[in-house]
Amino acid sequence: MSDSDVPLISARGISKSFAGVSVLRDVDLDLKKGEIHALLGENGAGKSTFAKIIAGVHRPTRGTLSLNGQTVEIANPLAAQKLGITLIHQEPISFPDLSVAENLVLGRGEDGWFNRVPWAEMTREARRQMDQLGVAIDVTRPMRGLSIADQQMVEIGRALASDSRLIIMDEPTAPLTPREVETLFGIARRLRDEGRTIIFISHRLEEVRALCDRVTIFRDGNKISTDPIDSLADTDIIRLMIGRPLKEYMHKHNASIGEVALEVEGLTLPGRFQDISFKVRHGEIVGLGGLVGAGRTEVACAIFGIQPAESGVVRVNGAPVDIRQPHDAIAHGLAFVPEDRAVSGIFRTLSVEQNITAAIPGENGGGKLDHGSGGIVRLRAA
């Protein structure tokens, strides 16, 4: 067997339990050199957990990993980095108060940058990395305030800088515009052609088809199959993902469509969106379509009072409502699940219980959260 036939990574019998709950069972998987390998599966199937085991974020409960035919222990992310394995997280983690350039060179203690920071050199190299990605980000500015897309580009730049052999991208395209996706795919193909290996996790079949060589499907913590992408039709992939044919999966909903629950008329916020009107009836799910930047999120934020519109009418159950802040929206029975769950969706440092009750207004509602006057929330001892 020639060297290039030896898989870069071989996983054998990898299992993982969290607090006794099994989330990955006996996964065998080989990753070849110079391939883009997709991991597909429904939410919670175990894709991210498997990726994190390879990247040293989690230790497997059982099983072994080999790198180039040698068994390896990947004890932590730094150990993975030293082996040339980089994970680009589903939700980028960075140091918001450090500059983009500083974030790009994080973890580079080995080459002598740990004790002595050569600022000019660091800035120059950071610029070069961003240029390579084709993104115009000022590398001297702090990470805080960068869009998620740009933060992700910084993470990708970090992987390139550390000369990784395996780059794991966990749903990298979710926050990207179509143009940014094209840039990313161009970079991924170039890295593959240099002989590097990429794990690409995505829920978007068309992206997997456009980019990947092989696809591994996970279902309920089990690895179901690994095949060349060209050998599978979309219907095969969906059947493997959900364990039965699609037509059995798509159940007709039984709710009857009722009266108009929410009506938006002529909603306008100059520069963001113009004259938006639509109706949502009881028992309906309505999608807001459009490209990134088209204003979908802004319309939702306006309806919910996060940044109210300048003109237009919102009616709830037929009655016009004046929603100037989220509190008003909640009082009218609206709920909002934001785009960036890490930043705006949850209070990371509070308990699950406090998070769940946080949106319930008033002294009696929250239970563990005490909404004081003037928008201040007092934490009561739980």
State the residues that interact with Mg ion by CB under 5 A. Answer: 48
Closest by CA position to 238, among listed 213, 200, 201, 205 = 205
Candidates 41-49, 186-194, 248-256, 273-281; binding stretch for ligand ATP (CB under 6 A): 41-49
Q: Which stretch binds ligand ATP (CB under 6 A): 39-47, 81-89, 143-151, 237-245?
A: 39-47
Angle between helices 178-193 and 119-133 (to 10 degrees): 100
CA gyration radius, the chain: 24
2 binds, among ligand ATP, Mg ion, none (CB under 5 to 8 A by kind): none
Minimum CB distance to ligand ATP, residue 17 (Å):
9
- Identify whether the C-beta of residue 221 lies closer than 8 Å to the C-beta of residue 45: yes
Nearest Cα to 216, choosing from 376, 352, 6, 24? Answer: 24
Judge contact between 145 and 97, C-beta under 8 A. Answer: no
Q: Which of these ranges, 38-46, 62-70, 150-158, 282-290, lies near ligand ATP under the rule CB under 6 A?
A: 38-46
Is residue 172 a contact point for ligand ATP (CB under 6 A)? no
Question: Which option in ligand ATP, Mg ion, none does residue 45 bind, with CB closer than 5 to 8 A by kind?
Answer: ligand ATP
* Residue 196 found at the interface with ligand ATP (CB under 6 A): no
Tell me how far, at minimum, the Cβ of 208 lies from Mg ion, in Å.
15
Position among 10, 48, 86, 129 found at the interface with ligand ATP (CB under 6 A):
48
Which structure tokens are listed for 128?
């070069």
User: 204 or 332: whose CB is closer to ligand ATP?
Assistant: 204
49 sits near ligand ATP (criterion: CB under 6 A):
yes
Q: Where are the beta strands (DSSP E) in the chain?
A: 9-18, 21-31, 36-40, 62-67, 70-72, 85-88, 166-170, 197-201, 214-219, 222-228, 260-269, 273-281, 311-316, 319-321, 369-371, 377-379
Alpha carbons 104 and 102: distance in angstroms, whole number: 5
Q: Given the rule CB under 6 A, which of 45-53, 104-112, 261-269, 288-296 is the region that contacts ligand ATP?
A: 45-53
Q: Which residues bind ligand ATP (CB under 6 A)?
A: 18, 23, 41, 43-49
